[in-house]
Amino acid sequence: MEAVISLAIGIVFAAGIWLVLRPRSFQVLAGLMLMSYAVNLFIFVMGRLWVDKPPLTPAGTRPDPAVLADPLPQALVLTAIVIGFATTALYLVVMIGARGLTATDHVDGREPES
């Protein structure tokens, strides 16, 4: 399971890096989003991979760490998703503004001379 999920994270992240290095601003945005998915998964996995272990305790029972998953990475990833989502949305707005003002979607704000 560990090998599969690390491969998945690696592939998504690599695709993100490739897209970030592309010249069109929408590709950069898509790349940043892919990278942030990979990072969110990575944080989640850093709490170790468990099957059948909830991060919550049923009411009225004594919490037993042995049957619980680590709840902290799950809380962290929630925060990271929210922040990442907001900043990506902001980037999208800037991108649309730049497209309108410069009439090109090249990241330099002008088409390269060919």
Partner 1 sequence: MTALDHVILIPVLLPLLCGAAMAPLTQGWHRLKLALGYLSVLGMLATALLLVAMTDGGYWQGGIGVYLAANWAAPFGIALVADRLAALMLLLTALLALAALHFAMQRWGRIGVHFHTLFQFLLMGINGAFLTHDLFNLFVFFEVMLASSYGLLLHGYNAERLRAGMQYIAVNLAASLLFLLGTALIYAATGTLNMADLAARIAVLPAPELGLVQIGASVLALAFLIKSAMWPLGFWLPTTYAAASPPVAAMLVLMTKVGTYAILRLWLLWFPGGWSYDALLWGGAATILFGAAGMLSTDSAGRMAGYGAIVSSGTLLAVIGYGQASLVAAGLYYLVGSTLAIAAFLLLVELIDRIRTPSAAILAVTMEAYAVEDKPDEPLGQGVPAALAFLALSFAACALMIAGLPPLSGFVAKFGMFHALLHPVDGRIPGTAWALMALVLASGLVAVMAMLRFGVRTFWANSGATKAAPPRLHRSEVAPVVFLLALSGVMTIEAGPIYGYLERASAGIHRPADYIERVLGHPAVPSPSSAAAGGEGS
Contacts with partner 1, residue ranges (CB under 8 A):
20, 25, 28, 32, 35-36, 39, 42-43, 46-48, 72-73, 76, 79-80, 83-84, 86-88, 90-91, 94-95, 97-98, 101-102, 107-109
Smallest distance, partner 1 to C-beta of residue 51, A: 19
Residue 106's φ and ψ, nearest 5 degrees, are -75, 145
In angstroms, the CA 105 to CA 42 distance is 31
In angstroms, the CA 48 to CA 76 distance is 14
Q: Which is nearer to partner 1, 5 or 43 (CB)?
A: 43
Smallest distance, partner 1 to C-beta of residue 67, A: 18
Q: Which is nearer to partner 1, 54 or 71 (CB)?
A: 71
Residues 109, 23 contacting (CB under 8 angstroms): no
Q: Which is nearer to partner 1, 67 or 72 (CB)?
A: 72
Smallest distance, partner 1 to C-beta of residue 54, A: 19
Label residue 48 left, alpha or beta by phi (over 0 means left) and psi (-120 to 50 means alpha).
left
Residue 39's φ and ψ, nearest 5 degrees, are -65, -40
